[in-house]
Amino acid sequence: MTTAHVAPVRTERAPARVRLRPTMSSDLEYVLSLERDPVNLPFITPWERTQHEAAIRFPDFRHFIVEGGEALEAVGFLILIGCRSPHQSLELKRLVVQDKGQGYGRAAVRVAKKIAFDDLGAHRFWLDVRTHNARARGLYETEGFVHEGLLRECVRGAGGFDSLVVMSQLRSEFADRRALGLELRA
């Protein structure tokens, strides 16, 4: 069982504090409702319940509820894949935040990086993001993810096929950012 991780992060707008805890079966209605929310659908490919159930159980996956706000209530969820990868290449498979623009996404990405590099021994932490997802791309770029390439028109979108930008951060880059005080302390 993964222990809870807490990230106090101050942005220009407001401080955000989040905690990640392992997702439980009883959380899946919340997870599915976020995935099916029309505001999120342009940016993700929703999973079936059985895929989430498997992700909760499989050792290669980590499925987290993001908790935030004064009462540390559920504000989103996050999935990591490749946690047992012999290549130490972990994927931030999914991040969805309910109330956008409160700083929860940035805080959750910081905690995810700490888990990936410090706890799970990642050498490379990567993700893909649809080209039209300006908010997420801006977030990942300012969190030190480097543009690797473009998967052209590889997923179905509302208006046809969407392309995916692949981004990653290497352990050495994370260490450099941490030395500059840009990452959570070990």
- Residues within the interface to ligand COA (CB under 6 A): 11-13, 40, 43-44, 95-97, 100-106, 129, 133-136, 138-139
Give me the least distance between CB of 115 and ligand COA, in Å please: 16
Question: Would you say 145 and 169 are in contact if contact means Cβ atoms under 8 Å apart?
Answer: yes
Give me the least distance between CB of 108 and ligand COA, in Å please: 7
Which lies closer to ligand COA via its Cβ, residue 56 or residue 103?
103
Give me the least distance between CB of 90 and ligand COA, in Å please: 15
Give me the least distance between CB of 106 and ligand COA, in Å please: 3
Which lies closer to ligand COA via its Cβ, residue 117 or residue 145?
145
Sign of CA dihedral 29, 35, 36, 40: positive
Please count the other Cβ atoms lying within 10 Å of the Cβ belonging to residue 174: 21
Residues 40, 125: Cα–Cα separation, whole Å:
23
Of residues 50, 46, 53, 56, the one with CA closest to residue 83:
56
**CB-count burial class (<10 Å; 0-12, 13-18, 19+) for 25:** exposed
Which lies closer to ligand COA via its Cβ, residue 35 or residue 120?
35
Give me the least distance between CB of 24 and ligand COA, in Å please: 21
Which lies closer to ligand COA via its Cβ, residue 45 or residue 57?
45
DSSP string of 87-131, one letter each residue: T-EEEEEEEEESSTTSSHHHHHHHHHHHIIIIIS--SEEEEEEET
Give me the least distance between CB of 86 and ligand COA, in Å please: 25
Residues 134, 79: Cα–Cα separation, whole Å:
20
Which lies closer to ligand COA via its Cβ, residue 1 or residue 163?
163
Residue number of the CB atom closest to ligand COA: 105
Which lies closer to ligand COA via its Cβ, residue 11 or residue 51?
11
